Amino acid sequence: MEVKKIAVLGAGLMGHGICQVAAQSGFQVHLRDIEQRFVDNGMQMIRKSLARFESKGKLTHEQVNEILSRIHTTLSLEEAVKDADLIVEAVPEKPEIKTSVYKEADKYAPPHAIIASNTSSISITQLGSATKRPERVCGMHFFNPPQLMRLVEVIRGIKTSDETIQTVLDMAQKMGKETVLVKKDSPGFIVNRILIPALNEAVALYWEGVAGRDDIDKAIKLGLNWPMGPLMLLDYIGADTTLSIAEVLTKGINPKFHPTAGLKQMVRANLLGRKTGKGFYDWTEKK
Protein backbone atom coordinates (compact mmCIF):
# COMPACT_ATOMS: atom_id res chain seq x y z
CA MET A 1 0.00 0.00 0.00
CA GLU A 2 1.29 3.47 -0.89
CA VAL A 3 1.16 6.10 1.84
CA LYS A 4 0.78 9.74 0.76
CA LYS A 5 -1.04 11.41 3.66
CA ILE A 6 -0.33 10.96 7.35
CA ALA A 7 -2.29 12.02 10.43
CA VAL A 8 -0.55 12.41 13.80
CA LEU A 9 -2.93 12.38 16.77
CA GLY A 10 -1.34 14.25 19.67
CA ALA A 11 0.98 17.26 19.41
CA GLY A 12 2.90 16.67 22.63
CA LEU A 13 6.45 15.55 23.38
CA MET A 14 6.42 12.66 20.89
CA GLY A 15 3.60 13.69 18.53
CA HIS A 16 5.17 16.96 17.40
CA GLY A 17 8.47 15.19 16.70
CA ILE A 18 6.80 12.42 14.67
CA CYS A 19 4.90 15.07 12.71
CA GLN A 20 8.15 16.91 11.97
CA VAL A 21 9.91 13.73 10.82
CA ALA A 22 7.01 12.87 8.48
CA ALA A 23 6.91 16.40 7.02
CA GLN A 24 10.70 16.44 6.59
CA SER A 25 10.36 13.17 4.67
CA GLY A 26 8.05 14.85 2.15
CA PHE A 27 4.64 13.72 3.42
CA GLN A 28 1.55 15.86 3.91
CA VAL A 29 0.70 15.67 7.62
CA HIS A 30 -2.35 16.61 9.66
CA LEU A 31 -1.41 17.30 13.29
CA ARG A 32 -4.34 17.10 15.69
CA ASP A 33 -4.78 17.71 19.41
CA ILE A 34 -7.78 18.41 21.64
CA GLU A 35 -6.97 22.05 22.51
CA GLN A 36 -5.50 24.89 20.47
CA ARG A 37 -2.80 25.57 23.10
CA PHE A 38 -1.48 22.01 22.69
CA VAL A 39 -1.38 22.40 18.91
CA ASP A 40 0.30 25.82 19.18
CA ASN A 41 2.88 24.46 21.62
CA GLY A 42 3.60 21.52 19.30
CA MET A 43 4.11 23.84 16.34
CA GLN A 44 6.36 26.08 18.41
CA MET A 45 8.55 23.07 19.26
CA ILE A 46 8.67 22.05 15.58
CA ARG A 47 9.76 25.57 14.55
CA LYS A 48 12.47 25.61 17.23
CA SER A 49 13.75 22.20 16.14
CA LEU A 50 13.82 23.19 12.45
CA ALA A 51 15.58 26.45 13.37
CA ARG A 52 18.31 24.39 15.07
CA PHE A 53 18.72 22.26 11.94
CA GLU A 54 18.93 25.44 9.87
CA SER A 55 21.51 27.05 12.19
CA LYS A 56 23.69 23.93 11.87
CA GLY A 57 23.46 24.09 8.06
CA LYS A 58 21.46 20.84 7.78
CA LEU A 59 18.44 22.60 6.26
CA THR A 60 18.09 25.79 4.20
CA HIS A 61 15.55 28.49 5.03
CA GLU A 62 13.57 27.46 1.92
CA GLN A 63 13.52 23.82 3.04
CA VAL A 64 12.26 24.83 6.50
CA ASN A 65 9.39 26.76 4.90
CA GLU A 66 8.56 23.81 2.61
CA ILE A 67 8.46 21.43 5.60
CA LEU A 68 6.17 23.77 7.55
CA SER A 69 3.88 24.13 4.50
CA ARG A 70 3.28 20.35 4.56
CA ILE A 71 1.93 20.46 8.16
CA HIS A 72 -1.79 21.16 8.61
CA THR A 73 -3.13 21.62 12.14
CA THR A 74 -6.63 20.90 13.39
CA LEU A 75 -8.68 20.24 16.52
CA SER A 76 -11.02 17.93 14.59
CA LEU A 77 -10.13 14.24 14.64
CA GLU A 78 -12.48 13.65 11.71
CA GLU A 79 -10.70 16.27 9.60
CA ALA A 80 -7.28 14.87 10.53
CA VAL A 81 -7.99 11.25 9.55
CA LYS A 82 -10.62 11.47 6.76
CA ASP A 83 -8.02 11.33 3.93
CA ALA A 84 -5.17 9.66 5.82
CA ASP A 85 -3.39 6.54 4.62
CA LEU A 86 -1.43 6.19 7.87
CA ILE A 87 -2.54 7.44 11.29
CA VAL A 88 0.08 7.60 14.06
CA GLU A 89 -1.48 7.87 17.51
CA ALA A 90 0.66 9.65 20.13
CA VAL A 91 -1.83 10.52 22.88
CA PRO A 92 -1.13 10.09 26.64
CA GLU A 93 -0.09 6.61 27.80
CA LYS A 94 -3.46 5.72 29.34
CA PRO A 95 -5.42 2.76 27.89
CA GLU A 96 -8.84 4.45 28.27
CA ILE A 97 -7.70 7.57 26.35
CA LYS A 98 -6.05 5.54 23.60
CA THR A 99 -9.06 3.21 23.25
CA SER A 100 -11.41 6.18 22.88
CA VAL A 101 -9.18 7.74 20.20
CA TYR A 102 -8.98 4.44 18.33
CA LYS A 103 -12.76 4.07 18.23
CA GLU A 104 -13.17 7.60 16.85
CA ALA A 105 -10.33 7.28 14.34
CA ASP A 106 -11.75 3.95 13.12
CA LYS A 107 -15.12 5.62 12.58
CA TYR A 108 -13.81 8.46 10.36
CA ALA A 109 -10.71 7.04 8.63
CA PRO A 110 -10.87 5.49 5.13
CA PRO A 111 -11.19 1.67 5.18
CA HIS A 112 -7.64 1.19 3.86
CA ALA A 113 -5.99 3.41 6.52
CA ILE A 114 -3.52 1.90 8.98
CA ILE A 115 -3.68 3.04 12.62
CA ALA A 116 -0.29 2.77 14.32
CA SER A 117 0.35 3.48 17.99
CA ASN A 118 3.44 5.17 19.40
CA THR A 119 2.75 3.46 22.74
CA SER A 120 5.79 2.34 24.71
CA SER A 121 4.02 -0.40 26.67
CA ILE A 122 0.25 -0.79 26.00
CA SER A 123 -0.98 -3.92 24.19
CA ILE A 124 -1.40 -3.44 20.42
CA THR A 125 -3.93 -6.29 20.41
CA GLN A 126 -6.01 -4.44 23.00
CA LEU A 127 -5.93 -1.22 20.93
CA GLY A 128 -6.78 -3.09 17.74
CA SER A 129 -9.80 -4.69 19.40
CA ALA A 130 -11.30 -1.22 19.89
CA THR A 131 -11.63 -0.98 16.08
CA LYS A 132 -13.29 -2.88 13.24
CA ARG A 133 -9.89 -3.13 11.50
CA PRO A 134 -7.56 -4.97 13.95
CA GLU A 135 -5.61 -6.32 10.97
CA ARG A 136 -4.67 -2.70 10.14
CA VAL A 137 -3.49 -1.80 13.65
CA CYS A 138 0.14 -2.11 14.77
CA GLY A 139 2.73 -0.45 16.97
CA MET A 140 5.11 2.19 15.58
CA HIS A 141 7.20 3.15 18.59
CA PHE A 142 9.53 6.11 18.01
CA PHE A 143 12.13 7.18 20.57
CA ASN A 144 12.58 10.61 22.13
CA PRO A 145 13.38 12.91 20.40
CA PRO A 146 12.00 11.42 17.14
CA GLN A 147 13.84 14.06 15.08
CA LEU A 148 17.21 12.63 16.21
CA MET A 149 16.70 9.06 17.42
CA ARG A 150 17.05 6.56 14.59
CA LEU A 151 15.14 3.58 15.98
CA VAL A 152 11.49 2.62 15.43
CA GLU A 153 10.06 -0.54 17.00
CA VAL A 154 7.29 -1.99 14.80
CA ILE A 155 4.97 -4.23 16.84
CA ARG A 156 2.64 -6.91 15.60
CA GLY A 157 -0.70 -7.43 17.36
CA ILE A 158 -2.36 -10.85 17.31
CA LYS A 159 -4.54 -9.90 14.30
CA THR A 160 -2.12 -7.52 12.51
CA SER A 161 -1.70 -8.46 8.83
CA ASP A 162 1.64 -8.99 7.07
CA GLU A 163 0.75 -6.17 4.65
CA THR A 164 0.26 -3.71 7.53
CA ILE A 165 3.62 -4.63 9.07
CA GLN A 166 5.43 -4.31 5.72
CA THR A 167 3.81 -0.94 4.97
CA VAL A 168 4.84 0.47 8.36
CA LEU A 169 8.38 -0.95 8.10
CA ASP A 170 8.70 0.69 4.66
CA MET A 171 7.28 3.98 5.96
CA ALA A 172 9.72 4.11 8.89
CA GLN A 173 12.59 3.54 6.47
CA LYS A 174 11.29 6.32 4.18
CA MET A 175 11.47 8.56 7.26
CA GLY A 176 15.16 7.69 7.56
CA LYS A 177 14.72 5.33 10.51
CA GLU A 178 16.19 1.93 11.37
CA THR A 179 13.53 -0.62 12.31
CA VAL A 180 13.23 -3.67 14.53
CA LEU A 181 10.24 -6.02 14.37
CA VAL A 182 8.58 -7.14 17.61
CA LYS A 183 6.99 -10.42 16.49
CA LYS A 184 4.82 -10.90 19.60
CA ASP A 185 2.72 -8.30 21.39
CA SER A 186 4.61 -8.43 24.70
CA PRO A 187 4.63 -5.63 27.33
CA GLY A 188 7.56 -3.22 26.98
CA PHE A 189 8.46 -4.64 23.54
CA ILE A 190 12.28 -4.89 23.20
CA VAL A 191 13.90 -1.69 24.45
CA ASN A 192 11.79 -0.93 27.53
CA ARG A 193 11.77 -4.55 28.67
CA ILE A 194 15.57 -4.33 28.92
CA LEU A 195 15.87 -0.66 29.91
CA ILE A 196 13.26 -0.27 32.67
CA PRO A 197 14.77 -2.93 35.01
CA ALA A 198 18.17 -1.22 34.55
CA LEU A 199 16.73 2.19 35.49
CA ASN A 200 14.84 0.62 38.40
CA GLU A 201 18.08 -0.89 39.76
CA ALA A 202 19.92 2.43 39.37
CA VAL A 203 17.24 4.09 41.53
CA ALA A 204 17.55 1.26 44.09
CA LEU A 205 21.34 1.74 44.29
CA TYR A 206 20.86 5.46 44.90
CA TRP A 207 18.09 5.13 47.50
CA GLU A 208 19.91 2.35 49.38
CA GLY A 209 22.97 4.60 49.63
CA VAL A 210 25.20 2.10 47.80
CA ALA A 211 26.61 4.89 45.59
CA GLY A 212 25.98 8.54 44.82
CA ARG A 213 24.14 9.91 41.78
CA ASP A 214 27.24 11.01 39.87
CA ASP A 215 29.14 7.78 40.49
CA ILE A 216 26.18 5.62 39.40
CA ASP A 217 25.89 7.57 36.15
CA LYS A 218 29.68 7.64 35.63
CA ALA A 219 29.95 3.87 36.22
CA ILE A 220 27.37 3.03 33.56
CA LYS A 221 28.63 5.62 31.06
CA LEU A 222 32.22 4.39 31.28
CA GLY A 223 31.56 0.74 32.16
CA LEU A 224 28.81 0.00 29.66
CA ASN A 225 29.52 2.81 27.16
CA TRP A 226 26.06 4.38 27.51
CA PRO A 227 25.89 7.93 26.11
CA MET A 228 24.36 9.12 29.40
CA GLY A 229 23.95 7.61 32.86
CA PRO A 230 20.72 5.84 33.93
CA LEU A 231 19.64 8.49 36.46
CA MET A 232 20.05 11.31 33.95
CA LEU A 233 18.23 9.22 31.34
CA LEU A 234 15.43 8.62 33.84
CA ASP A 235 15.10 12.41 34.25
CA TYR A 236 14.72 12.73 30.48
CA ILE A 237 12.11 9.96 30.26
CA GLY A 238 10.27 11.04 33.42
CA ALA A 239 9.95 9.15 36.70
CA ASP A 240 6.18 8.90 36.17
CA THR A 241 6.56 7.33 32.71
CA THR A 242 9.23 4.93 34.03
CA LEU A 243 6.96 3.92 36.92
CA SER A 244 4.01 3.42 34.58
CA ILE A 245 6.00 1.11 32.28
CA ALA A 246 7.43 -0.82 35.26
CA GLU A 247 3.87 -1.43 36.50
CA VAL A 248 2.77 -2.64 33.05
CA LEU A 249 5.73 -5.06 32.93
CA THR A 250 5.00 -6.27 36.50
CA LYS A 251 1.35 -6.93 35.71
CA GLY A 252 1.85 -8.31 32.21
CA ILE A 253 4.99 -10.44 32.53
CA ASN A 254 6.53 -11.07 35.94
CA PRO A 255 6.67 -9.61 39.49
CA LYS A 256 10.47 -9.27 39.06
CA PHE A 257 9.80 -5.98 37.22
CA HIS A 258 8.21 -4.49 40.36
CA PRO A 259 9.14 -0.78 40.68
CA THR A 260 11.43 0.11 43.57
CA ALA A 261 10.10 2.12 46.53
CA GLY A 262 12.49 4.95 45.65
CA LEU A 263 10.95 5.35 42.19
CA LYS A 264 7.46 5.53 43.73
CA GLN A 265 8.68 8.17 46.20
CA MET A 266 10.13 10.28 43.38
CA VAL A 267 6.73 10.27 41.65
CA ARG A 268 4.85 11.08 44.90
CA ALA A 269 7.19 14.04 45.45
CA ASN A 270 6.62 15.21 41.84
CA LEU A 271 10.37 14.88 41.22
CA LEU A 272 9.69 13.67 37.68
CA GLY A 273 12.80 15.05 35.98
CA ARG A 274 12.97 17.60 33.18
CA LYS A 275 9.19 18.00 32.87
CA THR A 276 8.88 19.33 36.45
CA GLY A 277 12.33 20.95 36.65
CA LYS A 278 13.73 18.55 39.25
CA GLY A 279 14.43 14.85 39.48
CA PHE A 280 17.82 13.39 40.23
CA TYR A 281 19.20 16.54 38.63
CA ASP A 282 18.11 20.18 38.81
CA TRP A 283 16.79 21.24 35.38
CA THR A 284 15.43 24.66 36.33
CA GLU A 285 18.53 26.47 35.04
CA LYS A 286 18.80 24.33 31.91
CA LYS A 287 15.19 25.02 30.92
Catalytic site includes residue 141: yes
Pairing of strands 151-156, 137-142: antiparallel
Residues 6+ apart with CB under 8 A from 176: 21, 25, 150
Among residues 118, 121, 192, 200, the one annotated as catalytic is: 192
Catalytic site includes residue 153: yes
Among residues 117, 120, 121, 200, the one annotated as catalytic is: 120
Catalytic site includes residue 247: no
Among residues 89, 93, 121, 141, the one annotated as catalytic is: 141
Secondary element (H or E) of residue 152: strand 151-156
Whether 90 and 18 have beta carbons less than 8 Å apart is answered as: yes
Q: Strands (DSSP E) along 10-150, which ranges?
A: 28-32, 71-74, 86-89, 114-117, 137-142
CA distance 223 to 47: 37
Catalytic site includes residue 192: yes
Cβ-based neighbour number of residue 119 at 10 Å = 23
Cβ-based neighbour number of residue 239 at 10 Å = 28
The helices-and-strands tally (H runs, E runs) of the chain is 12, 8
Q: Nearest CA to 33 among 96, 70, 82, 76?
A: 76
CA distance 82 to 54: 33
Measure the CA dihedral 116/118/121/122, to 10°. -40
Residues 6+ apart with CB under 8 A from 107: none
Catalytic residues: 120, 141, 153, 192
